[in-house]
């Protein structure tokens, strides 16, 4: 049947999957993600659904959903805007049925391939698959559907999904053939007929690619089985109309700038962080709806795609102190960047997305330095990954973009109530315990910075040495302590679990040269002390000069470190 949408004529038909492959020449746009259905998930479910439908008699139709095609593809092929995974999977199953029938001696194997999978036009030299995939997937897909040729060399990750799906179908069909014995060829032929006529898709065809994206978005406006990036891309492409080529080009440059794929969860995180820096904090759940409402017209789509590309380049630079952007945005020394990369905190990213784009270099440098102290105070207090920081930083970011905030001093004023006081920070630092996952890099950073403050060195908050092959972290009371050597921890704490809680106290940790650290292991304190007192690190030597190492000694040392912390990370 035919239907109208926004003044555009489109075709909507319910068609058997086999008929779609038989009667159309299709192409997957080069920018679409590769085939990604997994054997133990979608491919298995596809097989199970089909098998159950056929076992019920094969007389009822089975609906596999809607696909969207556009009629303006290259070489008279129709572009697949939505439906690649189902069409490729179906063609792989047909190829496996054809091959299995050939092994059973069925005379029509070649005819099946020519009808459904690959054939030679009268004016062409080679056999061409009816379905053409992107550059990454097509070589192996072509080998399967044109001649069941599985390359011997190890496939790429995305290619292997195609090969795994084909082999899965081949194995299942071999089992099916074995169960049916002499009637196997007839059973396989019935499968092929079912796929051709009864396993159906609703096929939506539009004259142009931009129209297809509008339809695709309408069909998927609840986000089922699609990432936010998928939905946003199709909304942008649909809204772009005359600017489609530019918008699409910017979109793929954006993905390239981040060195990700649009299917990567990190890309959706970037979109959320970027949008929070433009309009205020937004959740992933609400992200697509809010972005869609802001981008309604063709010019909106073009402008947004340009802004997104700028944001992506800055976002990539936030994880790379050597990124080319910093030559322009922060031409001086940039040790603060390495420290912020180590922290990897979302509120910082949101704020810096706006500040790096809008501030002059001198203000950016001030902000980078201040963010280190604010971040450490927030991490020690356990507040920085809670909502208030992100809410505040997001609002500041939007004010920066709106020119309501134009300097670091104004940011400092806005965060005054958010940053912990010296008294609170010092009190919490004296009792800080680091979890196993953060106890290495973060603890080495804390201790290295405190060491520099102890020596009255400049810029103590910048990483002095983050190379674990040169500087290691040593737990004085060890992670696998022999109770006989450390009995005082059990005596004071009452049981082993309480005793172990002292292991990850910052006061129990020291820095050592890597070559020295490897020899200490779980030795008792007296033996460790002889090594510690010769360390090049002053704070480590102080531990080695103690007569013993007890919970009280750890607490006393950590209180001393807290005094240094207030100076190291000033408010």
Residues 105 and 61 in one domain: yes
Residue 10 backbone phi and psi in degrees, to 5: -140, 160
Residues 141 and 12 in one domain: yes
Residues 166 and 276 in one domain: no
Residue 219 placed within a domain: no
Question: What does the pLDDT read at residue 330?
Answer: 82
What is d(CA 3, CA 5) in angstroms, rounded to the nearest whole number?
7
DSSP tag of 483: T
Question: What does the pLDDT read at residue 196?
Answer: 93
Residues 20 and 132 in one domain: yes
Other CB atoms closer than 10 Å to residue 358's CB: what's the count? 16
Residues 297 and 248 in one domain: yes
Question: What does the pLDDT read at residue 150?
Answer: 52
CB-based contacts of 384, cutoff 8 Å, min separation 6: 345, 347, 375, 378
CB-based contacts of 509, cutoff 8 Å, min separation 6: 434, 439, 443, 447, 473, 474, 475, 476
- Domain boundary, last residue among 369, 389, 420: 420
Domain around 289: 224-317
Residue 148's beta-bridge partner residues?
Answer: none
Residues 451 and 486 in one domain: yes
Residues 153 and 250 in one domain: no
Are the C-beta atoms of residues 232 and 95 closer than 8 Å to each other? Answer: no
Residues 416 and 483 in one domain: no
Q: How many domains does the chain have?
A: 4
Question: What does the pLDDT read at residue 491?
Answer: 64
Residues 25 and 166 in one domain: yes
Residue 364 placed within a domain: yes
Residue 54 placed within a domain: yes
Rg (CA), the chain: 31
Residue 85 placed within a domain: yes
DSSP secondary structure of 442-478: HHHHHHHHHHHHHTT-SSTTS-S---TTTEEEEESS-
**What is the full per-residue pLDDT of the chain (571 aa) written as tens digits?**
344 444 445 567 789 999 999 999 999 887 677 888 999 889 999 999 899 888 877 677 888 888 888 887 788 899 898 889 999 999 999 999 999 998 998 877 778 888 999 887 766 667 889 999 988 888 888 889 886 555 444 445 555 789 999 999 999 999 999 999 999 999 999 999 999 998 998 888 888 776 766 666 666 554 344 567 777 887 888 888 889 889 989 988 998 898 876 566 788 899 999 999 999 998 887 887 788 888 889 999 999 999 999 999 999 999 998 899 998 888 776 778 888 988 899 999 999 999 999 999 999 999 999 999 999 999 999 888 777 899 999 999 999 999 999 999 999 999 998 999 999 999 999 998 886 665 578 888 899 899 999 988 877 666 655 565 577 888 888 877 766 677 777 665 555 667 677 888 999 899 888 766 556 667 788 888 888 888 889 999 999 999 888 889 999 999 999 999 999 999 8
Q: CA separation (Å) from 14 to 5, 78, 202?
A: 18, 17, 4
Question: What does the pLDDT read at residue 383?
Answer: 87
- Domain boundary, last residue among 264, 298, 317: 317
Pairing of strands 62-70, 199-206: parallel
Identify the CA nearest to 477 among candidates 452, 516, 449, 507: 507
- Domain boundary, last residue among 211, 237, 267: 211
Residue 471 placed within a domain: yes
Residue 60 placed within a domain: yes
Residue 247 placed within a domain: yes
Q: 43: which 2 tokens?
A: 């491919």
Pairing of strands 8-16, 26-27: unpaired
Residues 243 and 181 in one domain: no
CB-based contacts of 470, cutoff 8 Å, min separation 6: 513, 514
Residue 216 placed within a domain: no
Residues 28 and 63 in one domain: yes
Residues 439 and 505 in one domain: yes
């Amino acid at each position: 049947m035919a239907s109208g949408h926004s003044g555009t004529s489109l075709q909507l038909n319910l068609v058997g999957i086999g008929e779609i492959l038989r009667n159309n020449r299709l192409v997957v746009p080069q920018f679409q993600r590769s085939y990604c259905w997994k054997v133990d998930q979608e491919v298995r479910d596809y097989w199970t659904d089909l098998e159950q439908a056929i076992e019920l008699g094969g007389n009822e139709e089975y609906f596999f959903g809607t696909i969207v095609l556009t009629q303006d593809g290259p070489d008279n092929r129709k572009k697949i805007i939505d439906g690649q995974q189902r069409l490729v999977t179906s063609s792989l199953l047909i190829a496996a049925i054809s091959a299995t029938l050939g092994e059973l001696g069925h005379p029509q194997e070649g005819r099946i391939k020519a009808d459904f999978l690959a054939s030679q036009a009268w004016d062409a030299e080679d056999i061409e698959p009816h379905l053409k995939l992107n550059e990454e997937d097509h070589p192996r897909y072509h080998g399967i559907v044109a001649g069941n040729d599985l390359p011997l060399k190890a496939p790429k990750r995305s290619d292997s999904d195609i090969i795994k799906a084909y082999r899965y179908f081949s194995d299942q069909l071999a089992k099916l053939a074995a169960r049916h014995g002499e009637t196997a060829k007839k059973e396989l032929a019935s499968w092929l007929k079912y796929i051709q006529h009864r396993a159906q898709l609703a096929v939506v065809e539009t004259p142009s690619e931009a129209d297809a994206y509008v339809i695709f978005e309408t069909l998927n406006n609840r986000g089922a089985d699609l990432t936010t990036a998928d939905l946003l891309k199709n909304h942008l492409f649909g809204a772009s109309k005359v600017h489609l080529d530019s918008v699409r080009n910017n979109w793929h440059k954006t993905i390239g700038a981040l060195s990700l794929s649009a299917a990567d969860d990190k890309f959706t995180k970037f979109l959320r962080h970027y949008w929070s820096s433009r309009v205020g904090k937004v959740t992933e759940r609400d992200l697509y709806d809010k972005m869609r409402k802001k981008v309604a017209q063709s010019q909106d789509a073009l402008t947004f795609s340009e802004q997104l590309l700028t944001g992506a380049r800055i976002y990539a630079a936030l994880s790379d102190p050597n990124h080319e952007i910093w030559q322009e945005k922060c031409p001086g020394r940039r040790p603060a960047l390495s420290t912020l990369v180590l922290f990897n905190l979302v509120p910082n990213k949101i704020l810096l997305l706006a500040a790096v784009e809008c501030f002059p270099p001198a203000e950016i440098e001030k902000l980078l330095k201040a963010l280190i102290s604010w971040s450490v105070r927030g991490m020690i207090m356990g507040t920085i990954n809670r909502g208030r920081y992100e809410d505040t930083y997001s609002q500041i970011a939007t004010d920066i973009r709106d020119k309501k905030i134009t300097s670091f001093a104004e940011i400092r004023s806005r965060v005054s109530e958010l940053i912990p006081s010296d008294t609170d920070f010092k009190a919490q630092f004296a009792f800080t315990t680091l979890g196993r996952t953060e106890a290495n890099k973060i603890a080495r950073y804390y201790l290295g910075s405190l060491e520099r403050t102890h020596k009255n060195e400049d810029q103590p908050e910048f990483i002095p040495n983050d190379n674990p092959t040169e500087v290691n972290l040593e737990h004085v009371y060890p992670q696998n302590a022999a109770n006989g050597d450390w009995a005082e921890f059990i005596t004071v704490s009452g049981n082993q679990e309480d005793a172990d809680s002292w292991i990850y106290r910052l006061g129990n940790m020291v820095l050592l040269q890597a070559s020295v650290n490897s020899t200490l292991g779980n030795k008792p304190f007296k033996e460790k002390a002889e090594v510690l007192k010769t360390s090049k690190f002053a704070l480590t030597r102080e531990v080695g000069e103690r007569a013993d190492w007890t919970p009280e000694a750890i607490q006393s040392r950590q209180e001393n470190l807290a005094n240094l912390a207030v100076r190291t990370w000033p408010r």
